[in-house]
């Protein structure tokens, strides 16, 4: 069973990946707490609990308290954090309590933030239940919520005590969610792992069919990329920005569509295509590299169409957190497996790349998406 360590100046923990982890959760938590008593609180959604409560409860001597949050990106906001904090207080949670985030990136980001601020900080463990959460969001300690003004604008860095990525959970994941998560793995491959890139190119059938070995391999390779980057730059002062490849425009798309039209991974897929266009226009990648990147992104689609103008998207990049002293930081790809962060991308260049991405969207999608996220 892969167990990948992540070490930063403030934290050290393992990301354990494999089958059957939920069924053995309680003894694993006892080991983590070094014999100190702890009171577990599970934060999850009713849908996930319905599917997986039996497995989770199997290892607990007494049922833990469960706090529910409705599914969906639209609930990733401060009001949800306050409601959960109130429930924690009413249930008597204290600094010996341990939050367990059982869910996708939305539950993980909210629970991590709640853990960061409840009583000025309590511990939590990530139990990622979507592919996206297993390959990306459960790792690295970025927690927070959205504002109308922009994505993840409120939050903190607060690392979990451990990440237990039980790959059995992926068995109940809808196909669109699996494909959305794969966009973050494609991102990891583009920025830092040419071997993963080739594996994703050559094994799409097995990966998309949910083959357990193929998915475990993709999760482990993606986690290694993220753990390696975060270990070197915990607070995103430099290297960590590369994990934001595709997110400058991706986040603008999510914000322009009010977090309702696209899944995060789908927005990142479009944003990655825009970033590849910009990289091509600067001569940072060859036409062949560009084609392989776009083909791989679309192979793990379909990416639904959305409604937003290029100029609006460029305007919305104004709230990007990578900005330094007012200068836009942009993550370019300089080849399969390599990146460069540049500070001289002009509005005109970004607009042209965004327009090229929108033109591609017109080509590959016939009609606007009817998909809308749960409110
Ligand atoms: N903190 C980070 O570093 C980081 C990294 C990447 C993404 N994110 C954030 O993650 C969020 C997206 O996460 P996501 O894609 O996991 O979406 P999500 O959390 O909304 O989950 C997607 C859907 O899948 C359902 N679901 C979850 N597990 C399931 C299971 N095992 N079986 C069946 N259904 C299941 C959920 O109920 C939900 O409806 C975004 O808010 C994004 O900003 C954070
Ligand atoms: O962990 C990181 O660093 C990332 O950028 C990972 C991204 O996939 C993720 O979507 C993250 O939440 C984006 O963070 P933000 O700081 O750009 O809001
Ligand atoms: Zn992301």
Kindly state whether residue 372 falls inside one of the protein's structural domains: no
Q: Is 243 in the pocket of ligand 2 (CB under 6 A)?
A: yes
pLDDT over 80 (residue 326): yes
Per-residue pLDDT at 1: 84
Q: How far apart are CA 5 and CA 347, in angstroms?
A: 40
Over residues 132-151, the mean pLDDT reads: 96
Judged by average pLDDT, the poorest of 41-55, 248-262, 317-331 is: 317-331
pLDDT over 90 (residue 34): no
Kindly state whether residue 112 falls inside one of the protein's structural domains: yes
Over residues 26-40, the mean pLDDT reads: 94
Active site residue 247: yes
Kindly state whether residue 352 falls inside one of the protein's structural domains: yes
Q: Look up residue 231 and give its two tokens.
A: 């270990």
Q: Look up residue 175 and give its two tokens.
A: 């196909």
Note the ipTM here: 0.99
Asked if 208 and 308 sit in the same domain, the reply is: yes
pLDDT over 50 (residue 375): no
165: containing domain: 3-172
Helices (H), 241-346: 247-256, 264-281, 287-299, 310-316
Say if residue 204 is exposed, middle or buried (CB neighbours under 10 Å; 0-12, 13-18, 19+).
middle
pLDDT digits (tens, 9 = 90+) for 90-120: 999 999 999 999 999 999 999 999 999 999 9
pLDDT over 50 (residue 143): yes
Task: List residues bridging with 144 in a β-sheet.
Answer: 155
- Tell me which residue has its CA closest to atom 34 in ligand 1: 173
Per-residue pLDDT at 372: 43
The number of distinct structural domains making up the chain is 2
Please state the separation of Cα 310 from the chain's center in Å.
24
Asked if 257 and 191 sit in the same domain, the reply is: yes
- Domain C-terminal end among 172, 194, 212: 172
pLDDT over 70 (residue 294): yes
CATH code of residue 282: 1.20.1090.10
Asked if 219 and 355 sit in the same domain, the reply is: yes
Asked if 82 and 198 sit in the same domain, the reply is: no
Kindly state whether residue 21 falls inside one of the protein's structural domains: yes
pLDDT over 70 (residue 82): yes
Active site residue 34: no
Q: Look up residue 70 and give its two tokens.
A: 């409705």
Q: Which residues line ligand 1 (CB under 6 A)?
A: 45, 47-48, 51, 71-73, 76, 103-107, 109, 129-130, 132-133, 136-137, 140, 142, 152, 169, 172-173, 177, 180, 263-265
Per-residue pLDDT at 366: 60
Per-residue pLDDT at 273: 98
Query: How far, in Å, is the centroid of ligand 2 from the Cα of 28?
Result: 28
Asked if 200 and 295 sit in the same domain, the reply is: yes
Residue of 243, 266, 267 to mutate, ligand 2, most atoms within 8 A of C-beta: 243
For all residues of the chain together, what is the average pLDDT?
95
- Domain C-terminal end among 172, 200, 219: 172
Kindly state whether residue 298 falls inside one of the protein's structural domains: yes
Of 179, 217, 251, 292, which one is the catalytic site residue?
251
- Domain C-terminal end among 172, 189, 211: 172
pLDDT over 50 (residue 86): yes
Asked if 185 and 152 sit in the same domain, the reply is: no
Q: How far apart are the first and last CA of the chain?
A: 37
Active site residue 374: no
CA dist 193 to 190, 196, 223, 336, Å? 6, 5, 11, 8
CATH code of residue 150: 3.40.50.1970
Asked if 104 and 191 sit in the same domain, the reply is: no
């Amino acid at each position: 069973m892969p167990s990948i360590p992540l070490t930063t100046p403030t934290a050290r923990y393992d990301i354990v990946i494999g089958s059957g982890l939920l069924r053995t959760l309680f003894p694993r938590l006892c080991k983590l707490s070094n014999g100190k008593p702890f009171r577990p609180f599970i934060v999850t959604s009713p849908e996930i609990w319905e599917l997986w409560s039996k497995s989770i409860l199997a290892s607990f001597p007494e049922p833990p308290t469960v706090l529910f949050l409705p599914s969906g990106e639209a609930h990733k906001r401060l009001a949800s954090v306050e409601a959960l904090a109130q429930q924690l207080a009413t249930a008597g949670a204290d600094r010996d309590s341990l939050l367990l985030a059982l869910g996708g990136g939305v539950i993980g980001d909210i629970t991590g933030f709640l853990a960061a601020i409840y009583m000025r900080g309590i511990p939590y463990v990530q139990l990622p239940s979507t592919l996206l959460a297993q390959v990306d969001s459960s790792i690295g300690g970025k927690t927070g919520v959205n504002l109308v003004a922009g994505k993840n604008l409120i939050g903190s860095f607060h690392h979990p005590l451990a990440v237990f990525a039980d790959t059995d959970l992926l068995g109940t994941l809808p196909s669109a969610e699996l494909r959305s998560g794969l966009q973050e793995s494609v991102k990891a491959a583009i920025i830092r792992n040419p071997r993963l890139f080739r594996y994703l190119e050559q094994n799409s059938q097995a990966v998309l069919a949910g083959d357990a070995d193929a998915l475990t391999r993709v999760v482990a390779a993606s986690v290694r990329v993220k753990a390696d980057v975060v270990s070197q730059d915990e607070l995103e002062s430099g290297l960590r920005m590369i994990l934001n490849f595709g997110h400058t425009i991706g986040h603008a798309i999510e914000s322009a569509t009010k977090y309702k039209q696209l899944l995060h991974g789908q927005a990142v897929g479009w944003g990655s295509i825009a970033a590849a266009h910009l990289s091509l226009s600067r001569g940072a990648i060859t036409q062949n590299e560009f084609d392989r990147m776009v083909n791989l992104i679309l192979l793990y689609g379909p990416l639904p169409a959305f409604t937003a103008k290029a100029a609006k998207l460029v305007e919305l990049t104004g709230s990007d957190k990578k900005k330094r002293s007012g200068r836009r930081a942009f993550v370019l790809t300089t080849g399969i497996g390599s990146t460069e962060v540049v500070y001289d991308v002009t509005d005109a260049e970004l607009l042209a790349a965004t327009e090229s991405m929108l033109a591609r969207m017109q080509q590959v999608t016939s009609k606007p998406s009817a998909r809308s996220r749960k409110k």
